[in-house]
Amino acid sequence: MSICWSEEKWYAVQAKQFGENFAAGYLTRLGIRTFLPQTREEHNVCGTDRVFVKPLFSGYFFTFFDLRSRMMRCDTRASVTGLGNGLGPLPVPEEIIEGIRSRVQADGFVKLERAEPRCGDKVALTRGCLAGWMGSR
């Protein structure tokens, strides 16, 4: 696979987990366009409803730049690494970015649709005292 080095494209970058906001902000201040899709989840914590904002892809976000003029490098402040193969970072197709952007709601968060289980579906409990148990509905 050959890599075109001459035009702006989207790239996925890895940041320290829980450091995505800092890293994306840092790169934005350097003049690099970023896209950090986030979700908003409500959980009941000790009897109180709390809202948690999390990246859609934990530890990752997207950047848009021309590799020829601005090669991504590791930076100790932002702690980011471009994702790719031995030839360098691989671009993320525009259709994937647009597909994610199309799910961003007016409030700025990606809305994830939860599929309700149907009879016969296998289910796994992920939280609580029965976490790890599996069964059929």
Three-state secondary structure readout of 7-66: CEEEEEEEECCCCHHHHHHHHHHCCCEEECCEEEEEEEECCEEEEEEEECCCCEEEEEEE
pLDDT tens digits, 28-79: 998 889 999 999 988 888 888 999 999 999 999 999 988 766 554 545 455 5
Reading the block at residue 128, the tokens are: 């609580």
Residues contacting 68, CB < 8 A, separation 6+: 5, 6
Query: pLDDT tier at 84 (50, 70, 90 boundaries)?
Result: low
The overall average pLDDT reported for the chain is 82
pLDDT at 83: 63
Place of tokens 């994830």: 112
Rounded CA-CA distance 57/24 in Å is 13
pLDDT at 122: 87
Task: Name the more confident of 103 and 5.
Answer: 103
Q: Where are the domains of the chain?
A: 8-136
Report which of 61, 55, 66 is spatially closest to residue 110, judged by C-alpha positions: 55
The three-state secondary structure class of 82 is strand
pLDDT at 55: 94
Is the pTM above the cut of 0.95?
no
Contact 20, 59 (CB under 8 A): yes
One CATH from 3.40.50.1970, 3.10.20.30, 3.40.50.300, 3.30.70.940 for 8-136: 3.30.70.940
Residues contacting 38, CB < 8 A, separation 6+: 53, 54, 55, 56, 108, 109, 110
